[in-house]
A = this chain, B = another copy of it.
Amino acid sequence: MARGRISRLSVRDIRFPTSLGGHGSDAMHTDPDYSAAYVILETDAEDGLKGYGITFTLGRGTEVVVCAVNALAHHVLNRDVGDIVGDFRGFYRQLTSDGQLRWIGPEKGVVHLATAAVLNAVWDLWAKQEGKPLWKLLVDMDPRRLLSCIDFRYITDVLTEEEAHEILQRGQVGKRERGARETPDVDEHHVSTEEQMLTEGYPAYTTSCAWLGYPDATLQQLCSEALKDGWTRFKVKVGADLQDDIRRCRLIRNMIGPEKTLMMDANQRWDVPEAVEWMARLAEFRPLWIEEPTSPDDILGHAAISKALAPLGIGVATGEQCHNRVIFKQLLQAKALQFLQIDSCRLGSVNENLAVLLMAKKFDVPVCPHAGGVGLCELVQHLIIFDFISVSASLKDS
């Protein structure tokens, strides 16, 4: 049971000097220092439990997010945890629609990153009070209660609360009775989606081999090690220099062989026509997707790129910098992506991600989370495991 009154919110600016080794470097973020604004919530309950929430940042600017967290703090302090999670939609709305603060958003950029950090801490606190990991809290929650955490404002033209309820009801039926396993030699009627997650985990890919700032020798060494470790899906950063991309993609495709999966990531480097031309030149390396080919705000641009690359067998993936559910709604409406990448720290925490997972299910688009930054893997695994067990029930294209 949720309990206690929020007695303290503290926030820290935590930075790691990853730019020294070129870790995390891509075509647009050449010198990132992987960082986080780190929120800690304390209550007056005697259990001593604290809620920890973060948003991921790249170094400079973390102090701006910290400042925004402090600007939101008055909405959180002295509130009963039970009241917050009892009307979580209302609380989400209160944070995102503050009559003065929303002007500097709304629901985007710094204030929304700060909102994510605060709400991530609330969810962490709630899950701890319930004695469950977050994914289990979500999976066990009554569908009506779950939906009461979502602000449907601006998405009802695509997904009403009733439609969302039907999706969750269908997930309820499936989540204990069957898993939608793609492995044909296992009797799927005897393994529930939850059991499958607990025994086998969720599949992942690695980007760690092929950051843009790595020399070829480093790329080869890391790729070789990743193959030994059993990785089957590899992502390579592209977009800064075409000849360089051709050389690096050839290198990695030759190392992983024709069967394993290769994805490419341009980190918003291109304009729309440039994206289409560039990817036509990289098509020979058979990427599953091109990620972030252009501005994350360009829904119609992503739609045009998707249409142009479909005949080449290349999908479009995006989401890590899509700033709210309204953008995701339109990406789905416009058939602008074939792989939807939620982010646990850019959207308004679990609340807004639930809305996006449900919309993705309605449009039958697979969700492949963005992760890899400070805390992102640790956070997003809860969302994607919930998605598999209660919503999508599929590992296809995950």
Contacts and interface: CB of A to CB of B under 8 A. Distances in A.
Interface of A: 28-33, 56-61, 63-65, 67-68, 71, 97-113, 153-157, 268, 271-274, 294-301, 304, 321, 323-324, 326-327, 329-330, 333-334
Contacts of A109: 104-105, 108-112, 323
Which of A59, A71, A297 neighbours the largest number of chain B CB atoms within 10 Å of its CB?
Answer: A297
Contacts of A156: 271-274
Contacts of A102: 28-29, 58
Contacts of A65: 104
19 contacts: A28-B99, A58-B103, A60-B101, A61-B71, A61-B103, A64-B71, A67-B67, A68-B110, A103-B321, A106-B268, A106-B321, A109-B109, A109-B112, A154-B294, A154-B298, A155-B271, A156-B272, A157-B273, A300-B334
How many copies of this chain are found per oligomer?
Answer: 2
A274 to B, nearest CB: 8
A305 to B, nearest CB: 10
Contact of A64 (B32, B68, B153): B68
B71 A60 contact: yes
Given A68-B64, A103-B29, A324 B297 contact: yes
Contacts of A103: 29, 32, 56-58, 61, 321
Contacts of A111: 61, 64, 109-110
A334 B113 CA distance: 29
Contacts of A333: 300
Contacts of A327: 297
A301 B154 contact: yes
A58 B330 contact: no
B301 A299 contact: no
A300 B155 CA distance: 11
A318 to B, nearest CB: 13
List 8 A-B pairs, minimum CB-CB distance, nearest first: A109-B109, A110-B110, A60-B100, A157-B272, A59-B100, A58-B103, A297-B326, A67-B67
A31 B99 CA distance: 6
Given A33-B100, A111-B109, A300-B334, A63 B59 contact: no
A309 to B, nearest CB: 15
Given A110-B110, A111-B110, A30 B297 contact: no
A107 B304 CA distance: 22
Nearest to A65: B104
A157 B304 contact: yes
Given A108-B323, A294-B154, A29 B67 contact: no
A18 to B, nearest CB: 11
A61 B157 contact: no
Contacts of A104: 57-58, 61, 64-65, 109-110, 113
A104 B60 CA distance: 9
